[in-house]
């Protein structure tokens, strides 16, 4: 698989994430709605692809004691995936969750 194909595969993985997948992985439901993930930057080398993604949505319910604000919110993260037999296998990922919570509280 070419580097461009690997980057496209990773981009599709994150941008086609379903709301139910987001809810399960981040325990955000029902505090946030209308989430959409956009892959902003990617770097690929060999069989690995690093993707910087931004998830945007609306704060519509209480979360960690923070009342709903109705504001648009954003959570940023980075994931590194490895292409194995034409499929992506996660290597590691990080999110700026502290900044996300600080923005909600203010």
CB 52 within 8 A of CB 62: no
Identify the band that residue 28 occupies on the pLDDT scale cut at 50, 70 and 90: low
User: pLDDT tens, 76-97?
Assistant: 999 999 999 988 888 998 988 8
CB 57 within 8 A of CB 29: no
Average pLDDT of the chain is: 85
Identify the band that residue 40 occupies on the pLDDT scale cut at 50, 70 and 90: very high
Quick one: pLDDT at residue 29? Answer: 62
With 0.95 as the threshold, say if the pTM is over it: no
């Amino acid at each position: 698989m070419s580097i461009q194909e690997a980057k496209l595969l990773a981009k599709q993985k994150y941008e086609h994430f379903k709301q139910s997948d987001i809810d399960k992985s981040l325990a955000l439901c029902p505090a946030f709605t209308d989430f959409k993930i956009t892959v902003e930057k990617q770097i690929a080398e060999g069989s690995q692809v690093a993707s910087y993604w931004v998830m945007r949505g609306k704060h519509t319910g209480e979360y960690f004691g923070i009342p709903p604000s109705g504001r648009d919110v954003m959570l940023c993260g980075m994931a590194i995936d490895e292409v194995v037999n034409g499929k992506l296998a996660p290597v590691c990922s990080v999110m700026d969750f502290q900044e996300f919570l600080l923005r909600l509280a203010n």
